[in-house]
Amino acid sequence: MRGRIFLITVLGSVAALTTGCDRPPPAAIGRADVAEPPVYSSAQPRKGLRMPLADGFEGDSVAGFWLPGNYGTGSHEPGAVVISKDYARSGTRSVRITVKEGDIGARGDDGQRVERAELDSGHYPLLGQDVWYGFSFLLPPGFPVVNNRLVIASCKQSDVEGSPLIGQRFRSGKHSLTIRAPGVSGIGKSHPLPDIQLGRWTDVVYHVRYSTGDDGMIEVWMNGARVVSYRGATASKDGADRFYHKVGLYRDRWKEPMTMYLDNYTVGGSFEGVDPSTFDRRP
């Protein structure tokens, strides 16, 4: 049996004992029968998810399912998200995401000034359903490693204020995942993640069952090893049935620009369907 054993205590529940190579069955679960309206800045949150959504960033622009940068209060400035040949997890291209001081400036929930450059894959009614998110990310050599809030991926529920349900964070060189159960203040319970190696790709898979009850679930794999397993509520009864996933750079205000690369992104119905390591083998 390969991999290390992780025992993670999670908020409101006891995590399962897992092994690093423990992979789920290939069952596909999720709504796939509702069409999506066109994507433009005045569009309302989309009413359903037609899976899979996939983007290998091999074209001249990002795929059409990504919400535009000026959607809602804004997620990225013009020119902050660019197809690039600098690095590629598969194929020859990825997407380069850069945040600069003041980009989409706002005040965070803790009163601090924040800024962002993020891709948002859309808002969908997923309550009571399972969804899988897979992606590869790279922080290039020289990436600023600072004691500053930095979220590189998150899952959120509409009409729920505060920190995200899931926040993948990188601060002072420490890589972690926070899970904020409904009704909990602050960022929630923090779980350590494997170190990020600058200049190297990291494959990530999230499995989330959005539920207001004890059957909710969050599992996370990195480079094929399961590193977090949570059971418990993952949605607020007071929030809307609209859930969304974002990848990029969300940080406290900082003078120095930051850049990351994203590749092999998928939203789907099984581990095998979103595993970033399989992108080259897909039809």
Provide the pLDDT for residue 47.
58
Provide the pLDDT for residue 23.
59
What is the Cα 15 distance to its own chain's centre? 21
Provide the pLDDT for residue 46.
55
Provide the pLDDT for residue 32.
28
| pLDDT tens, residue order, the chain (283 aa) | 434 333 333 333 333 333 344 655 433 333 222 223 223 223 344 557 888 999 999 999 999 999 999 999 999 999 999 999 999 999 999 999 999 999 999 887 667 899 999 999 999 999 999 999 999 999 999 999 999 999 999 999 999 999 999 999 999 999 999 999 998 989 999 999 999 999 999 999 999 999 999 999 999 999 999 999 999 999 999 999 999 999 999 999 999 999 999 999 999 999 999 999 999 888 7
Instruction: Please name the residue that has the structure tokens 């999670």.
Output: 10
Tokens of 111: 């009163």
57 and 93 Cβ atoms separated by less than 8 Å: yes
30 residue type, one letter? G
**CATH 3.30.70.980 for the 52-281 domain, yes or no:** no
Per-residue three-class SS string for the chain = CCCCEEEEEECCEEEEEEECCCCCCCCCCCCCCCCCCCCCCCCCCCCCCCCCEEECCCCCCCCCCCCCCCCCCCCCCCCCEEEECCCCCCCCCEEEEEECCCCCCEECCCCCEEEEEEEECCCECCCCCEEEEEEEEECCCCCCCCCCCEEEEEEEECCCCCCCCEEEEEECCEEEEEECCCCCCCCCEEEECCCCCCCCCEEEEEEEECCCCCCCEEEEEECCEEEEEEECCCCCCCCCCCEEEEEEEEEECCCCCEEEEEEEEEEECCHHHHCHHHHHHCC
pTM (predicted TM-score): 0.84
